[in-house]
Amino acid sequence: MTSITSVGLRSARGPVLLALMLSTALVALDATIIATASATIAREVGGFEQLPWLFSTYLLAQAVGTPLAGRLADVLGRRRMMLGGVALFFLGSVVCGAAPSMGVLIAGRVLQGLGAGAVMPTSLTIAADIYTLEERARTQGYLASVWAISSVVGPTLGGVFSEFVSWRWIFFVNVPLCALAAWMLLRRYHESPRDGAREPIDYLGAGLLASGSTALLLGLLEGGSTWAWGSPASLVLFAAAVALLAGFVVRARRARHPIIDLGILRRRVIAVPTAASLLVGVIVLGLATYIPIYAQGVLGVGPLVAGFTLAAMMVGWPLSATNAGRLYLRLGFRLTAMTGATLVLTGTALALLLGASSAVVAVAGVCFLVGLGMGLTAVPTLIAAQSAATFTERGAVTGTTMFARSLGSAVGVAVCGAIVNSRTTVGADGVPEGPGLMSAMHVVFIVLAACAAVLLLVATLMPADRDQARERRAGTGSAEATPTRAA
């Protein structure tokens, strides 16, 4: 077994990890880099009323692609799926950079989102394949640090490119990065041949899952903003989502090789992390969306300082994620996840004490504490689920867990948005304002604290280590066996 000290970028597997980090950076940067350039883009290509779709379509395509890519990585191979995701992201970046109109730009963002949906679960699956159980928390910390850096660097780069060069370089800069990531993967990451015939792909199940998820997430992301919750558009989308996802469940139960085997959710060591991931999505996106609004609209600080408060969470996350391995090897996955969930609950409970005269440092402290908790909750639960899965299940398990987080993010934004919109008005700068903003934020904090309490309850449901071993033996094959190697 490889020592945990050999996990770094100078180890034999370092180039593969570096390629995974670079691919993750592409996804993370493009989730934030466009924010500061959106007004400039709208002025140059027109279609200001379609501007929100630049964000929604990217997140939507990424969320829908994640569970499908996770399963396809098991069927087609990690290397092929990873290179396909990078290629899609490359193509989407070129389309966005050369876009003559908002419609073409949105189409390019869809391609980017699909590429991101393939890259994220596959990169985490590869990391689980080539690193041992003892090493995985350290590698997760490296990957989490990419998101932390991107959350700070992304908006800054977007502003610099749009003001001093051209907003199109926000997308064109991805071209050499995609080429470098693909080259490193081709050179340094190889998979051993697989025995037996390849499982057939359930295209009908994939279509039902993709279309049902699209309808559900689109309704959650756009309801209450683009159209009213009770409007015909919302009702049609949610009705379609229910029908399509019900059809997917029926298909998954009958198909010999379903695109996602729902049977894996009968194993508590996989079902609990999936539920935890959904709650993590609610809390993280709730804070990420409304802490800056609270800082600007209530405390009266500028966007830069508001961003600082949120960046504190992104710093705390990789710090604790990197050290989570030492804890779960000593305490076990359940106690580590419970410790993290307790920190999240403490942070969200302290947010209830924030008021109209709170110090910015206090807000940053709350976010930092939540970030520390997230690193000790999200990482151990994911690793526990991956460790309980066989090699041919690991991609599907990773994709399903990440899809749950995307769904939770959409639910969190929808619920918190409905609360804020019902009590405030939107100012000229797009930030909610009015005398009801503080009371609305207090309700949002109550909702997030309640979700944190449920997260702690879910963490207590994690099976003990001996029960995890029993569930692992109940699966087909060895969970830790892998035919994958890094050359």
Residue spans of alpha helices (H) in 425-483: 437-460, 465-474
Contact predicate 270/389, CB 8 Å: yes
Helices (H), 359-430: 360-388, 391-423
Which H helix or E strand runs over 117? helix 102-130
What predicted TM-score, i.e. pTM, was given to this entire model? 0.82
C-alpha closest to that of 389 among 484, 485, 468: 468
Q: Which residues pair with 160 in a beta bridge?
A: none
Q: Burial, 474: exposed, middle or buried (Cβ in 10 Å; 0-12, 13-18, 19+)? A: exposed
Q: Give the CA distances from residue 245 to residues 14, 68, 105, 267, in Å, rounded to whole numbers and listed in that order.
A: 40, 14, 29, 21
Which of 349, 326, 345, 337 has the alpha carbon at shortest distance from 275?
Answer: 337
Residue 195 has what pLDDT?
64
**7-190 and 264-477 have identical folds:** yes
Question: How many whole angstroms separate alpha carbon 73 and alpha carbon 353?
Answer: 45
Q: Is the dihedral of CA 92, 93, 98, 99 positive or negative?
A: positive
Cβ neighbors of 238 (< 8 A, separation 6 or more) are 215, 216, 219
Q: 297: which 2 tokens?
A: 């609209």
Q: Which CATH number fits domain 7-190: 3.20.20.140, 1.10.3720.10, 3.50.50.60, 1.20.1250.20?
A: 1.20.1250.20
- Residue located via tokens 């151990």: 380
Tokens 């029908």 — which residue?
243
Q: Tokens 């394949």 identify what position?
A: 129
Q: Vertex 323, ends 306 and 352: CA angle to 5°? A: 35
Q: Which residues pair with 166 in a beta bridge?
A: none
Maximum CA pair distance of the chain? Answer: 66
Question: From CA 396, how far away is CA 72, in angstroms rounded?
Answer: 8
Question: Position 196: which residue type?
Answer: G
Domain positions in the chain: 7-190, 202-258, 264-477
Task: Give dist(CA 315, CA 317) in Å, integer.
Answer: 6
Predicted pLDDT of residue 250:
93
R_g of the chain computed on alpha carbons: 22
Q: Which of 107, 347, 117, 126 is nearest to 210 (CA)?
A: 117
Instruction: Tell me which residue of 304, 309, 442 sits closest to 368, measured CA to CA.
Output: 309
CA dist., res. 383 & res. 329, Å (int) = 12
| Distances 298 to 284, 358, 415, 438 between C-alpha atoms, Å | 20, 9, 20, 6
CA 107 – CA 100 distance, rounded (Å): 12
Dihedral sign for Cα 225, 226, 231, 237, please: negative
Sign of CA pseudo-dihedral 20, 26, 28, 31: negative
The CA distance from 189 to 381, in Å, is 26
CATH class of segment(s) 264-477: mainly alpha
Distance, in Å, from the CA atom of 133 to the CA atom of 328, rounded to the nearest integer, reads 10
Residue 426: phi, psi to the nearest 5? -95, 125
Going by C-alpha positions, the residue among 332, 321, 353 that lies closest to residue 142 is 321
CA torsion 93-224-152-155 (nearest 10°) is: 50
Give me the pLDDT at residue 6, please: 47
Angle (deg, nearest 10), helices 268-297 and 303-331: 160
Per-residue pLDDT for the chain (487 aa), expressed as one digit of tens each? 333 334 545 555 778 888 899 988 888 888 777 766 776 787 788 766 677 788 778 888 888 889 889 888 888 889 999 999 999 999 999 999 999 988 899 999 999 999 999 999 999 899 888 888 778 777 877 887 787 777 667 777 777 787 788 888 889 989 999 999 999 998 888 877 666 667 788 889 889 999 998 898 888 878 877 788 889 999 999 999 999 999 999 998 888 888 888 888 889 999 999 999 999 999 988 888 788 888 888 888 877 777 778 778 888 888 888 888 888 888 889 999 999 999 999 999 999 999 888 999 999 999 999 999 999 999 899 999 988 888 888 888 998 998 899 888 888 888 888 888 777 766 555 556 656 788 888 999 999 999 999 999 999 999 876 555 455 445 443 334 333 333 3
3-state class (DSSP) for residue 10: coil
